[in-house]
């Protein structure tokens, strides 16, 4: 029997929603479920409403979906806001000390902190959290032991007493859950022979950066970019990475440029307004031909916008940011495994072509936990493309070359002096007012993009390759669009997905080939005007028959996409 | 001792008589006396007349954008502490556009020298007030006179525990050369502000004006640059008498020592090795 369950765990910030989601999700993943966990949170430390949606199945999951089968409510607001989403087979598990009003007609399980942890005054949150965790497992007939192990790991640094309370509450909750009847059971799902991974987009990118030889990272904290900076920082002492918290985003990018000029593999990143501050130095990186990887993690704008929500609204900006024309590359991963590979590749591209390379993500991609197989994270190649050894004649940092790429040397590695300049410059790096040199040098830089095009591809397809209905998407929209296509296919509506992760320089030929045979072209993306659609039109002349757009800050779901296709599919 | 011809750069575009020429020569002499080969030096600059400085030298050069000299130099130095890094900026570049980076540099204490060419005017843009122009001075943009109080950068540096603070003057080249040497030899962030007459756009703060006012602080009886309060008084002194020399010294650990990644040598000489299975272990 196939299982596809959505568990929503909600409460106020500070109630421990995240603290129990991760042990639960991970335990279920280890138990053999495919797990996908989405975070929704507000820009505040305490209070407000936040929730995690954990989807489980015995089949591979690539997307979140709508609907709630188990509503775990740590406060009244969670019930009030989400009761309408509870499915016909659904059930509510709630903290009876917080939740006083329940909707009629939905079965429920009350958890009383005082009963779960008798006498442990002031520990109501632990009782409710761990108790709910246990109750979910009991209800689903899943073993408790793996979760107990994870609770022990998670709370080890809070002391033996806290661990004991968690285990006790989880065990009692488990018994309460087990006593109830529920349609779905995980009893038949068994741990996989080889372990799987539960990993978020930004965590996977941090690993890709490390595998790809990252040595220097600088940044200023800003949601949702911060999670990538944190993930690298936690591993920095072990892997000899210099992490610099910058005084502002302008410093962040200039620090990374300085480190990269000198020869360290460098990455910086930001979100929203932080990237506005970086744009001047973006041109500096391209003008000085300094390799640099820049992560821009999207959230709805303009200005401060919705700081903790998701959007794909920065594509046009990233493609054109900065004065005049200069080469840059733009990549956007669709899954954590793609994020891992693309980050390592971005570091290579930056070194090979001596230009800024963007990685575009967003809050949904950054924070969502996906289940992956370790084999989907293969060894990566590290290509520094640095010239060493004695030079013949005077070294010119910006020597004119056919492919636009000049031999790059590092300062301090020989008598060759490395002269870099933000002014227009002669091949030896010194500033010039010679207008002919300007044209030659500008052409040389732009030539690098043409040289790079054959390396661009990054197309993922799904569905029926001969279908006339094609849904085109990019970056983090991969999962919801792919599931929408799979559901269309299951309903005997032929459809296919064409997903792009390599956005600039635009892989025209590869895209044209992938779209061949399309009768109805749909572009789905998370912004209000269809920024990628504009790019597609600009580069291929193709015009979509229909756009599926979403810009309310909540992620795409297959249901949303299908609902917006009803007139066309 | 290396000959100064070793540091000959491209032809200069500065005005004849510019204080920058005095500084350039003193700097080359200092490099030679410190036996620094061109390949061992990185001079980072931003935008302004002073930022052309590294082009007129033979050394590794990163001429970046306005105000951002310090973060580029800091990144470069953290990646390769084998390089002698000197950041060159103007008063507008460093005290105006890049002010936040100066504050961060005091805190970081990375081992590099910052030389601020202070001509008390914006010369590249032809004569507007800089953060150090004296109040009341008439400029192209302030025909009624500058209404702002000047930034007392050295006092700010002392107040923030900057590890080495000095002032030199283009009117005293021998002294300036020694200050360059001391700044580069200092372990930690060294701020050297140099009074640099602009012969075209600043007709107030001329060679003569500076000559009448500057004195060497080390000639003050018993002067101790590690005495913070005394240093602060000297850093605030501006007017009839202007102190030059090492005003403040506050030895403290450098940023490079705080980064465990650098214990294994310069990043640029390391060969990172991160096995995939080890990376993935946390997520199983």
pLDDT tens by residue, B109-156: 999 999 999 999 998 898 999 999 999 999 999 999 999 999 999 999
Q: Do B78 and A250 touch (CB under 8 A)?
A: no
Q: Do A247 and B101 touch (CB under 8 A)?
A: yes
Per the DSSP assignment, residues forming a β-bridge with B86 are B43, B113
Residue A352 near residue A292 (C-beta atoms within 8 A): no
Q: How far apart are CA A543 and CA A533, in angstroms?
A: 8
pLDDT for A154: 86
pLDDT for A153: 87
Q: Is residue A46 one of the residues assigned to a domain?
A: yes
> Locate tokens 């950068």: which residue?
B153
Question: Is the domain of A156 the same as that of A211?
Answer: no
A395: pLDDT strictly greater than 70: yes
Length in residues, chain B: 284
Q: How far apart are CA B111 and CA B109, in angstroms?
A: 6
| Alpha helices, DSSP H, located in A67-116 | 76-82, 113-116
| Alpha helices, DSSP H, located in A5-57 | 17-30
Question: Is the domain of A165 the same as that of A227?
Answer: no
Residue A354 near residue A218 (C-beta atoms within 8 A): no
Collect all residues of chain B within an 8 Å Cβ-Cβ radius of residue A417. 38-39, 58-61
pLDDT for A569: 62
Looking at every residue in chain A, the average pLDDT score rounds to 95
Out of 3.40.50.720, 3.40.50.10440, 3.40.50.620, 3.40.50.970, the CATH code matching B4-258 is: 3.40.50.970
Please state the rounded mean pLDDT for residues A248-256: 98
Q: Residue A207: which of B103, B270, B279 has the nearest Cβ? A: B279
Six-digit token string for B185: 């030899």
Q: How far apart are CA A506 and CA B118, in angstroms?
A: 47
Render B192-208 in DSSP notation, one character per residue. EEEE---TTT-SSS-HH
Q: Do B47 and A422 touch (CB under 8 A)?
A: yes
pLDDT tier for residue A252 given thresholds of 50, 70 and 90:
very high
User: What residue numbers bound the domain in which A366 lies?
Assistant: 198-376
Q: Above pLDDT 70, what percent of chain B?
A: 100
Chosen for mutation from B64, B254, B271 (greatest number of chain A CBs closer than 10 Å) is B64
Question: Is the domain of A138 the same as that of A237?
Answer: no
Q: Is residue A405 one of the residues assigned to a domain?
A: no
Angle, alpha carbons A297-A298-A299 (nearest 5°): 130
Interstrand relation of A197-200 and A369-372 (parallel, antiparallel or unpaired): antiparallel
Q: Do A411 and B101 touch (CB under 8 A)?
A: no
Q: Is residue A271 one of the residues assigned to a domain?
A: yes
Residue A10 near residue A78 (C-beta atoms within 8 A): yes
Question: Is the domain of A231 the same as that of A345?
Answer: yes
Shortest CA distance to A330 belongs to which of A506, A536, A477?
A: A506
- Rounded to whole angstroms, what are the CA distances from A48 to A45, A85, B11? 9, 19, 64
Question: Is the domain of A136 the same as that of A218?
Answer: no
Collect all residues of chain A within an 8 Å Cβ-Cβ radius of residue B56. none
pLDDT tier for residue A505 given thresholds of 50, 70 and 90:
very high
Q: Is residue A486 one of the residues assigned to a domain?
A: yes
Chosen for mutation from A35, A203, A255 (greatest number of chain B CBs closer than 10 Å) is A255
Question: Is the domain of A341 the same as that of A218?
Answer: yes
Q: How far apart are CA A40 and CA A299, in angstroms?
A: 13
Q: Do B62 and A288 touch (CB under 8 A)?
A: yes
Question: Is the domain of A9 the same as that of A75?
Answer: yes
Q: Above pLDDT 90, what percent of chain A?
A: 88
Question: Is the domain of A48 the same as that of A109?
Answer: yes
Going by C-beta distance under 8 Å and a sequence separation of 6 or more, which residues neighbour residue B47?
A422, B64, B65, B66, B67, B93, B124
Q: Do A263 and B83 touch (CB under 8 A)?
A: no
Question: Is the domain of A153 the same as that of A203?
Answer: no
pLDDT for A1: 57
Nearest CA in chain A to B63: A421
pLDDT for A2: 87
DSSP structural state of residue A425:
B
CB atoms within 10 A of CB A72: 32
First to last CA, chain B: 59
Please state the rounded mean pLDDT for residues A39-53: 86
Crossing angle (nearest 10°) for helices A249-262 and A272-287? 30
pLDDT per residue as tens digits for the range B2-54: 999 999 999 999 999 999 999 999 999 999 999 999 999 999 999 999 999 99
Long-range pairs of B5-11 with CB within 8 A, sequence gap ≥ 24: B6/B32, B6/B37, B6/B38, B6/B58, B7/B31, B7/B32, B7/B38, B7/B57, B7/B58, B7/B59, B8/B57, B8/B58, B9/B54, B9/B55, B9/B56, B9/B57, B9/B58, B10/A430, B10/B55, B10/B56, B11/B56
Collect all residues of chain A within an 8 Å Cβ-Cβ radius of residue B68. 250-251, 254, 281, 284
What is the domain-level CATH number for residue A536? 3.40.50.920
Nearest CA in chain A to B36: A412
Question: Is the domain of A50 the same as that of A124?
Answer: yes
Q: Do B268 and A410 touch (CB under 8 A)?
A: yes
Question: Is the domain of A276 the same as that of A358?
Answer: yes
- Rounded to whole angstroms, what are the CA distances from A22 to A342, A369, A530? 26, 9, 35
Shortest CA distance to A140 belongs to which of A88, A177, A166, A114?
A: A177
pLDDT for A493: 96
What is the domain-level CATH number for residue A337? 3.40.50.970
Q: Do B268 and A262 touch (CB under 8 A)?
A: yes
The domain tally of chain A equals: 3
Collect all residues of chain A within an 8 Å Cβ-Cβ radius of residue B44. 258
Question: Is the domain of A242 the same as that of A140?
Answer: no
pLDDT tier for residue A120 given thresholds of 50, 70 and 90:
low
pLDDT per residue as tens digits for the range A137-168: 999 999 999 889 988 988 899 899 889 999 99
Q: How far apart are CA A377 and CA B37, in angstroms?
A: 45
Q: Is residue A135 one of the residues assigned to a domain?
A: yes
């Amino acid at each position: 029997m196939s299982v596809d369950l959505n568990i929503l765990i909600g409460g106020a910030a500070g109630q421990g929603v995240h603290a129990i989601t991760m042990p639960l999700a991970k335990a279920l993943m280890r138990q053999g479920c495919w797990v996908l966990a989405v975070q929704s949170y507000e820009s505040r430390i305490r209070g407000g409403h936040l929730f995690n949606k954990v989807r489980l199945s015995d089949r591979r999951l690539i997307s979140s979906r709508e609907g709630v089968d188990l509503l775990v409510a740590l406060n009244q607001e969670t019930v009030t806001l989400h009761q309408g989403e509870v499915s016909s087979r659904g059930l509510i598990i709630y903290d009876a000390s917080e939740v006083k009003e329940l909707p009629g007609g939905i079965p429920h399980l009350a958890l009383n902190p005082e009963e779960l942890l008798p006498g442990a005054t002031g520990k109501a949150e632990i009782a409710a959290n761990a108790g709910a965790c246990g109750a979910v497992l009991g209800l689903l007939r899943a073993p408790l032991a793996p979760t107990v192990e994870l609770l022990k790991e998670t709370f080890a640094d809070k002391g033996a007493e806290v661990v004991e309370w968690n285990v006790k509450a989880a065990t009692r909750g488990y018994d309460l859950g087990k006593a109830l009847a529920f349609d779905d059971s995980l009893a038949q799902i068994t741990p996989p022979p080889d372990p799987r991974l539960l990993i978020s987009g930004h965590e996977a990118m941090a690993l890709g950066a490390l595998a790809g030889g990252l040595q220097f990272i600088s940044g200023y904290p800003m949601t949702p970019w911060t999670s990538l900076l944190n993930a690298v920082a936690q591993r920095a002492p072990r892997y000899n990475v210099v992490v610099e918290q910058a005084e502002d985003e302008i410093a962040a990018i200039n620090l990374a440029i300085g480190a990269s000029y000198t020869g360290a593999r460098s990455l910086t990143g930001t979100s929203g307004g932080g990237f506005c501050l970086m744009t001047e130095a973006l041109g500096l990186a391209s003008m000085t031909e300094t390799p640099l990887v820049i992560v821009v993690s999207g959230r709805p704008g303009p200005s401060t916008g919705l700081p903790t929500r998701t959007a794909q609204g920065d594509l046009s900006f990233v493609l054109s940011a900065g004065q005049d024309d200069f080469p840059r590359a733009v990549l956007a991963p669709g899954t954590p495994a793609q994020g891992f590979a693309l980050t390592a590749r971005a570091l290579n591209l930056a070194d090979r072509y001596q230009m800024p390379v963007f990685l575009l993500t967003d809050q949904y991609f950054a924070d969502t936990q996906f289940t992956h197989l370790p084999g989907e994270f293969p060894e990566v190649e590290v290509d520094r493309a640095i010239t060493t050894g004695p030079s013949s004649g005077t070294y010119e940092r910006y020597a004119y070359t056919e492919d636009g790429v000049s031999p790059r040397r590092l300062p301090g590695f020989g008598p060759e002096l490395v002269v870099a300049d933000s002014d227009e410059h002669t091949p030896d790096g010194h500033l010039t007012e010679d207008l002919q040199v300007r044209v030659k040098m500008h052409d040389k830089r732009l030539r690098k993009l043409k040289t790079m095009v054959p390396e661009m591809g990054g197309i993922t397809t799904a569905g029926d390759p001969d279908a006339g209905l094609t849904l085109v998407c990019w970056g983090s929209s991969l999962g919801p669009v792919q599931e929408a296509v799979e559901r269309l296919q299951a309903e005997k509506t032929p459809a296919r997905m064409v997903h792009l992760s390599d956005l600039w320089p635009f892989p025209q030929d590869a895209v044209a080939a992938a779209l061949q045979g399309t009768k109805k072209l749909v572009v789905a993306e998370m912004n209000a005007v269809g920024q990628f659609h504009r790019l597609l039109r600009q580069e291929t002349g193709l015009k979509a028959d229909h756009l599926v757009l979403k810009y309310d800050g909540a992620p795409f779901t297959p249901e949303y996409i299908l609902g917006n296709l009803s007139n066309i599919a | 001792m290396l000959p100064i011809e070793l540091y000959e750069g491209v032809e200069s575009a500065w005005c004849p008589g510019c204080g920058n020429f005095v500084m350039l020569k003193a700097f080359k002499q200092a490099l030679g006396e410190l036996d620094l080969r061109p390949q061992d030096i990185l001079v980072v600059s931003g935008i302004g007349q002073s930022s052309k400085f590294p082009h007129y030298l033979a050394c590794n050069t990163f001429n970046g954008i306005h105000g951002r000299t310090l973060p580029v130099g800091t990144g470069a130095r953290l990646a390769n502490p084998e390089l002698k890094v000197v950041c060159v900026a103007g008063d507008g570049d460093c005290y105006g556009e890049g002010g936040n980076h100066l504050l961060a540099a005091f805190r970081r204490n990375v081992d590099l020298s910052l030389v601020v060419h202070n001509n008390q005017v914006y010369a590249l843009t032809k004569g507007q007030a800089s953060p150090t122009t004296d109040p009341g001075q008439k400029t192209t943009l302030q025909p009624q006179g500058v209404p702002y109080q000047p930034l007392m950068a050295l006092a700010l540096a002392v107040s923030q525990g900057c590890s080495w603070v000095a002032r030199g003057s283009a009117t005293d080249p021998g002294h300036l050369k020694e200050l360059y040497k001391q700044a580069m030899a200092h372990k930690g962030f060294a701020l050297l502000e140099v009074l640099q007459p602009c012969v075209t756009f600043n007709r107030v703060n001329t060679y003569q004006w500076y000559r009448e006012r500057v004195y060497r602080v080390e000639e003050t009886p018993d002067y101790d640059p590690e005495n913070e309060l005394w240093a602060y008084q000297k850093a605030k002194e501006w007017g009839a008498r202007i102190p030059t020399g090492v005003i403040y010294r506050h030895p403290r650990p450098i940023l490079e020592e705080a980064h465990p990644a650098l214990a294994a040598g310069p990043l640029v000489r390391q060969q990172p090795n991160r096995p995939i299975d080890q990376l993935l272990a946390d997520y199983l």
